Amino acid sequence: MSYVEIDPQQYGVDISLTYATDNNFTGQPVYKHAHCFLHEDAAAHLARAVELAGCLGHRMLIYDALRPSEAQWALWNHTPDPDFLSDPRRGSPHSRGVAVDLTLLDESGTPLDMGTDFDAFTPHSHHGSDGVSQIAQRNRHLLLGIMSTAGWDFYMNEWWHYQLFDPRRYPLVEDGELSKSMME
C-alpha cells in the first residue's frame, strides 16, 4: 500500500496527535505510538496546503491523520455519535488514510482562534457557525480556502476535518498493514 509517514521537517508541519495522549474526548490514549501516516495521494495534497499556508505566514498543526480501523472502533465504542464520528462498519476517511484534522498556527507557533477546540462535539464546531466570534469565523474561512485550493473536501460539522474527494475508493487500513504500528 502507498502510505507515507508525515515527517515534520520534510513536510514543514507541526504534529501533535491528540489520540496518542489522554487529552482527547475518551480521556485516555487511543494510539500507543504517535505515527502520522497518510496515503501518498493525501500527502501530496497536504504538501500543497502547507505551501499555500506558508505564503500567508502560517504553519499547520496536525491533530490526526490516518486512523487505523481498530482506533476508529475504540472512538466509536466510546462515543457513537454519527454527527462527529464515522461508523466503523462504513469506514472513516481517516481509516483510509485520506483525511487529516488540523489547524493553522501563527508566526509564533500559536494556533489561530477557531472558536472551539479540536473535537468539540457541538454545533459551534460547524463551518459557518454564528456561535463563534468573527475572528474565529475568518480563521476558519482562511483554513477552508487553503485546504480547498489544495484539493481537499471538508466536513460541514467539523472545522478541523478535511478529506480527499471520493474517499471510499481507498481501502480501509488495519494497524498491522502500516510500516510502524500505532496501536501496539
Q: Write down the pLDDT at residue 61.
A: 98
SS3 158: strand
Q: Write down the pLDDT at residue 129.
A: 96
Task: Render pLDDT for 22-71 as a digit per residue (tens, 0 to 9).
Answer: 999 999 999 999 999 999 999 999 999 999 999 999 999 999 999 999 99
| Strand 59-64 with 99-105, pairing | antiparallel
Q: Write down the pLDDT at residue 83.
A: 86
Q: Are 97 and 75 in contact (CB under 8 A)?
A: no
pLDDT band at 1 (very low <50, low <70, confident <90, very high): low
For the chain, which residues make up each domain, given as ranges? 3-177
Q: Are 26 and 73 in contact (CB under 8 A)?
A: no
Cα first-last separation, the chain: 20
- Mean pLDDT across 5-32: 97
CATH architecture observed for domain 3-177: 2-Layer Sandwich (3.30)
Question: Would you call 158 a catalytic residue per the annotation?
Answer: yes
Q: Write down the pLDDT at residue 144.
A: 98
Written as one string, the DSSP assignment of 140-156 is HHHHHHHHHHTT-EEET
Task: Render pLDDT for 90-144 as a digit per residue (tens, 0 to 9).
Answer: 999 999 999 999 999 999 999 999 999 999 999 999 999 999 999 999 999 999 9
Q: Are 39 and 2 in contact (CB under 8 A)?
A: yes
Q: Are 179 and 170 in contact (CB under 8 A)?
A: no
Task: Render pLDDT for 141-163 as a digit per residue (tens, 0 to 9).
Answer: 999 999 999 999 999 999 999 99
Catalytic, out of 5, 70, 107, 158? 158
The length of the chain, given as a count of residues: 184
